[in-house]
Amino acid sequence: MSNNVTYENVNKIYGEGSKNPVHALKDVSFTINPGELFCLLGPSGCGKTTLLRSTAGLEEISSGKMYYGDVDISTIPPYKRNIGMVFQSFALYPHMSIFENVAYGLRVRKVPNDEVKKKVTQVMELVGLQEELKRNPSPTALSGGQQQRVAIARALVYDPDILLLDEPLANLDAKLRRYMRAEIRRIQKATNITTIFVTHDQEEAMAVGDRLAVLRKGIVEQIGTSDELYNEPKNAFVANFIGKMNFFESTVIDSSKDSIDVEIKGKGIRFAIPKAKCRTQAKKGDSVLIGGRPEQLIVSAAPLNKCIEGNVHIIQHLGSFIRYEVTIDSSISPVALEIDMDSLQKDIHEGDRVYVGFKEDKISLFSPEGREL
Ligand SMILES: Nc1ncnc2c1ncn2[C@@H]1O[C@H](COP(=O)(O)OP(=O)(O)OP(=O)(O)O)[C@@H](O)[C@H]1O
């Protein structure tokens, strides 16, 4: 039966006491549920790999505790933690057959031969490699996707308590990556091993994870399901990291009611944003950001109530939907809008003057902090 993994005020400082210490994890505290597929997501350098390697015992944490169930694993040496790990590079042994690559963890544990054969066969079936096992070539004779399956089989064969996946799909092409992420989810659900999956690709994390943690500069910014993070991002950083968020610099006019009245700077357009949609406690006169996802904005060839004028920079037909990028002001990045193919506006072309409006009941309000990724 799998168990939960808990982090309690975990700190990691590289080069502690040196001239240039790096505080890679700052008071990280959260719990991963038993059998959960949990993604660690964030930009380069946010601390994802450090947290994963600390869980495996490959890095020593500077302070705090890590638990598997009730067991404090913080100071247990790596080889006693019973953790399976899959690396970006797969790290297969080219001089060994596939069978021996997968069997490696059992051989180290001195498992008898007939048990090794049984376990390897079982796990190879689970990852969909039974045919390759019959041929049993060297792993270098396999495709990227097959090598990935061998790496997963090797990590699962000795029934680890926790499975750690460090950017496991980074070396695969885009199509295979999408296929293998579904495979990883299928295999993880079949084994029910508590799993941590590190990626910097938000689409991958949203597709794979039961829940996600978004990290920035060693801090956990928010934890939730894909839907929670997309629909209720806690701040501008998460809003812009999980999906796309357009921001409009605004000023608070009044915050005394149950909505915050704001005006877009230089445009004279006002909105009353219900406090339930405000991720900031802004007061009158404060600078804030109105946030609108691409599907929460409207584009029109004719003026709209409360709209901003701009020029269509680019129109992209992306299958079931169309993406417009509209330049409002050349000094800031274009506003992105997405509409269903069914609502295609045939009278709008690249270079045209257009009007961008807002779905007022959808937009939200943020503090400017963390806007830049
Ligand atoms: N061995 C080390 N010595 C010193 N600093 C390190 C070491 N390893 C990582 N760091 C620093 O710690 C911070 C977190 O790094 P980490 O590799 O955990 O981030 P990451 O989110 O996994 O990034 P990436 O997606 O680029 O792999 C970074 O500032 C990094 O430069």
Alpha carbon nearest to ligand 1 atom 5, residue: 14
Q: Are residues 32 and 9 in the same domain?
A: yes
pLDDT in tens, 155-202: 999 999 999 999 988 878 888 889 889 999 999 999 999 999 999 899
Residue where a domain stops, chosen among 236, 265, 283: 236
pLDDT of amino acid 130: 83
Cβ of 81 closer than 6 Å to ligand 1, yes or no, is no
Alpha carbon nearest to ligand 1 atom 17, residue: 49
How far apart are the CA of 361 and the centre of ligand 1, in A? Answer: 40
Q: Are residues 220 and 290 in the same domain?
A: no
Q: Are residues 16 and 148 in the same domain?
A: yes
Q: Are residues 152 and 274 in the same domain?
A: no
Q: Are residues 214 and 258 in the same domain?
A: no
pLDDT of amino acid 35: 96
Neighbouring CB atoms inside 10 A of 252's CB total: 20
CA pair distance 177, 14, nearest whole angstrom: 32
Q: Are residues 222 and 300 in the same domain?
A: no
Residue 370 has pLDDT above 70, yes or no: yes
pLDDT in tens, 148-167: 889 999 999 999 999 999 99
Residue 131 has pLDDT above 90, yes or no: no
Cβ of 50 closer than 6 Å to ligand 1, yes or no, is yes
Q: Are residues 221 and 337 in the same domain?
A: no
Q: Are residues 226 and 261 in the same domain?
A: no
How many structural domains compose the chain?
Answer: 2
Atom of ligand 1 nearest to the CA of 52: 18
Residue 373 has pLDDT above 70, yes or no: no
ipTM of the prediction greater than 0.85, yes or no:
yes
How far apart are the CA of 181 and the centre of ligand 1, in A? Answer: 24
Residue 308 has pLDDT above 70, yes or no: yes
Q: Tell me, what CATH number does 45's domain have?
A: 3.40.50.300
Q: What is the mean pLDDT of residues 69-76?
A: 94
Atom of ligand 1 nearest to the CA of 42: 21
Q: Are residues 221 and 254 in the same domain?
A: no
Residue where a domain stops, chosen among 236, 270, 296: 236
Q: Which residue has the higher pLDDT, 63 or 371?
A: 63
CA-wise closest residue to 351 among 317, 313, 303: 313
Q: Are residues 222 and 251 in the same domain?
A: no
Q: Which residue has the higher pLDDT, 224 or 305?
A: 224
- Give the strands of the sheet with 246-254, arranged side by side: 270-274, 259-264, 246-254, 287-292, 364-366
Look up residue 275 and give its amino acid. K
- Asked if 327 and 310 touch (Cβ cutoff 8 Å), the reply is yes
pLDDT of amino acid 161: 94
Alpha carbon nearest to ligand 1 atom 3, residue: 14
Domain containing 293: what range?
244-365
Domain assignment of residue 373, yes or no: no
Q: What is the mean pLDDT of residues 271-289?
A: 94
Residue where a domain stops, chosen among 201, 236, 271: 236
Atom of ligand 1 nearest to the CA of 200: 25
Atom of ligand 1 nearest to the CA of 53: 18
Domain assignment of residue 370, yes or no: no
Strands 162-166 and 194-199: parallel
pLDDT of amino acid 174: 85
Domain assignment of residue 35, yes or no: yes
Give residue 91's pLDDT band: very low, low, confident or very high (50, 70, 90). Answer: confident
Strands 83-86 and 308-317: unpaired
Q: What is the mean pLDDT of residues 278-290?
A: 94
Q: What is the mean pLDDT of residues 18-24?
A: 94
Cβ of 146 closer than 6 Å to ligand 1, yes or no, is no
Domain assignment of residue 371, yes or no: no
Domain assignment of residue 372, yes or no: no
Residue from 48, 164, 198, 201 whose mutation best tests the ligand 1 pocket (most atoms within 8 A of CB): 48
Q: Tell me, what CATH number does 264's domain have?
A: 2.40.50.100
pLDDT of amino acid 21: 94
Cβ of 219 closer than 6 Å to ligand 1, yes or no, is no
Domain assignment of residue 53, yes or no: yes
Residue 84 has pLDDT above 80, yes or no: yes
Cβ of 46 closer than 6 Å to ligand 1, yes or no, is yes
Q: Are residues 250 and 150 in the same domain?
A: no
How far apart are the CA of 7 and the centre of ligand 1, in A? Answer: 19
Token pair of 338 as six digits: 């997405």
Q: Are residues 339 and 222 in the same domain?
A: no
Residue 330 has pLDDT above 80, yes or no: no
Q: What is the mean pLDDT of residues 236-263?
A: 94
CA pair distance 187, 193, nearest whole angstrom: 10
**Percent of the chain with pLDDT strictly greater than 70:** 99
Integer CA distances (angstroms), 13 to 17, 281, 372, in order: 9, 32, 24
Q: Which residue has the higher pLDDT, 329 or 23?
A: 23
Domain assignment of residue 302, yes or no: yes
Least confident of 16-20, 91-95, 229-233: 91-95
